[in-house]
Amino acid sequence: MRNSFRVAAVAAGLVTVLLGATACADAVSSGGGSGEAGQCAPEDVQLVQSGRGLDNEYYVAVDAAARAFAASQGLEDNYHWIASDGDSSKQLRQIKSILAKGGECVVLNVDANESSLVPSIVKEAENAGAWLVTQWNRPDGVAPETSDSPNWVAHMSVDGVPQGYETAKALFERMGGSGSIVALQGILDNPPAKERFEGLQQALEEYPGITLLEDQTAEWSRTSAQDITQTFLTKYPGQIGGVWAANDSMALGALEAIKNAGQQGTIAVSGIDGLSEAIDLVQDPASGYVATSQSTAAAQAAFGLAIGLAAATGQIDPSSEPAEHRSFYLKPLPAVTPDTASSLPDPADISGFDLTDIWSEVGGPIT
Amino acid sequence: MTRLDKTISAAATAVPETDTRSGRAERLRALVSSERVPVPALLVLLVIAIVMLVVNPVFLSPGNLRGIAEQSAVPIVVAVGMTFVILMGGIDLSLPGVMAAVSLVTALTLANDRTGLDLGLWSIPLGCAVGAALGLLAGLSVAVLKVPSFIVTIGTWQIGLGIGLLLFGAKPPRILDDGVRQLVNGTVLGVAGAVWIALAVVVLGWLLETPTRFGRYAFVIGGSEEIARLSGVPVRRYRAASFAVAGGTAGLAAVLATLRTGVGDVGMGDSLLFTTIAGIVIGGTLLTGGKGGVVHSVVGVVVIVVISNAMVLGGVSSYIQQAVQGGVVIVAAALSLWRLRARLRVVK
**CATH assignment at residue A166:** 3.40.50.2300
Confidence of residue A282 (pLDDT cuts 50, 70, 90): very high
Q: Are residues A251 and A175 in the same domain?
A: yes
pLDDT of res. B328: 80
Confidence of residue A290 (pLDDT cuts 50, 70, 90): very high
Instruction: Give the pLDDT mean for B114-142.
Output: 89
pLDDT of res. A54: 83
Residue A344 lies in a domain: no
Do the Cβ atoms of A203 and A253 come closer than 8 Å?
A: no
Q: What is the mean pLDDT of chain B?
A: 84
Query: Is the CB of B309 inside 8 Å of chain A's CB atoms?
Result: yes
Strands (E), chain A: 46-51, 79-83, 106-111, 131-135, 152-157, 179-185, 210-217, 240-245, 268-270, 289-291, 327-330, 362-365
Query: Is the CB of A230 inside 8 Å of chain B's CB atoms?
Result: yes
Confidence of residue A267 (pLDDT cuts 50, 70, 90): very high
Instruction: Give the pLDDT mean for B319-345.
Output: 75
Confidence of residue A268 (pLDDT cuts 50, 70, 90): very high
Residue A302 has pLDDT above 50, yes or no: yes
Q: Write the pLDDT tens digit of every residue in A134-155.
A: 998 888 888 998 888 889 999 9
Residue A123 lies in a domain: yes
- Of all residues in chain A, what percent carry a pLDDT higher than 70? 90
Instruction: Give the pLDDT mean for B3-7.
Output: 48
pLDDT of res. A122: 94
Tell which residue, B275, B271, B273, B295, has the closest CA to residue B285: B295
Query: Closest residue of A to B168, CA-based?
Result: A55
Instruction: Give the pLDDT mean for A171-187.
Output: 93
Q: For testing the chain B interface, which of A52, A67, A260, A264 should be mutated: the one with the most B CBs within 10 Å?
A: A260
Confidence of residue B32 (pLDDT cuts 50, 70, 90): low
Query: Is the CB of B63 inside 8 Å of chain A's CB atoms?
Result: yes
Q: Are residues A170 and A209 in the same domain?
A: yes
Instruction: Give the pLDDT mean for A30-46.
Output: 69
What are chain B's domains?
A: 40-332 (1.10.3470)
Query: Is the CB of B173 inside 8 Å of chain A's CB atoms?
Result: no
Name chain A contacts of B315, Cβ cutoff 8 Å.
214
Query: Is the CB of B260 inside 8 Å of chain A's CB atoms?
Result: yes
pLDDT of res. B340: 67
Cβ <8 Å between B67 and A230: yes
Residue A30 lies in a domain: no
Q: Are residues A221 and A132 in the same domain?
A: no
DSSP label at residue A25: H
Residue A18 lies in a domain: no
pLDDT of res. B235: 87
> Which of B105-119, B202-216, B240-254 shows the lowest mean pLDDT across its residues?
B105-119
CA distance A90 to A83: 9
Q: Are residues A209 and A308 in the same domain?
A: no
Residue B338: burial class (beta carbons within 10 Å; 0-12, 13-18, 19+) = exposed
Cβ <8 Å between B312 and A232: yes
Residue A236 lies in a domain: yes
Residue numbers of B between 39 and 58 with CB closer than 8 Å to A: 56, 58
Q: Are residues A212 and A249 in the same domain?
A: yes
Q: Are residues A258 and A324 in the same domain?
A: no
Residue B14 has pLDDT above 50, yes or no: no
pLDDT of res. B13: 44
> Which of A85-89, A250-254, B30-34, B92-96 shows the lowest mean pLDDT across its residues?
B30-34
Tell which residue, A362, A355, A361, A363, has the closest CA to residue A315: A355
CA distance A244 to A247: 9
Total of domains in chain A: 2
How many other C-beta atoms lie within 10 A of the C-beta of residue A120?
16
Residue A105 lies in a domain: yes
- The alpha-helical segments, DSSP class H, found in B232-271 are 235-261
Q: Are residues A206 and A282 in the same domain?
A: yes
Tell which residue, A259, A261, A279, has the closest CA to residue A270: A279
Residue A20 has pLDDT above 80, yes or no: no
Q: Looking at this predicted complex, what is its ipTM?
A: 0.81
Cβ <8 Å between A226 and B261: yes
Domain boundary among A293, A311, A342: A293
Q: Are residues A169 and A95 in the same domain?
A: no
Q: Are residues A215 and A264 in the same domain?
A: yes
Q: For testing the chain A interface, which of B95, B166, B171, B325 should be mutated: the one with the most A CBs within 10 Å?
A: B171
Residue A23 lies in a domain: no
Cβ <8 Å between B64 and A231: yes
Q: Are residues A213 and A178 in the same domain?
A: yes
Domain of residue A204, residue span: 160-293
Q: Are residues A119 and A209 in the same domain?
A: no
Instruction: Give the pLDDT mean for A303-318.
Output: 93
Q: Of the candidates B64, B262, B312, which has its C-beta nearest A256's C-beta?
A: B262
Which range, A178-182, A338-342, B163-167, is most confident? A178-182
Residue A31 lies in a domain: no
- Of all residues in chain A, what percent carry a pLDDT higher than 90? 59
Q: Write the pLDDT tens digit of every residue in B199-224.
A: 999 999 999 988 898 988 888 888 88
Q: Are residues A150 and A215 in the same domain?
A: no
CA distance B249 to A359: 53
Structure-model confidence comparison of residues B270 and A267, the more confident one: A267
Confidence of residue B12 (pLDDT cuts 50, 70, 90): very low
pLDDT of res. B8: 45
Domain boundary among A293, A308, A342: A293
Q: Of the candidates A60, A188, A227, which has its C-beta nearest B318's C-beta?
A: A188
> Which of A234-248, B164-178, B187-201, B238-252 shows the lowest mean pLDDT across its residues?
B164-178
Instruction: Give the pLDDT mean for B253-272.
Output: 89
Domain boundary among A239, A264, A293: A293
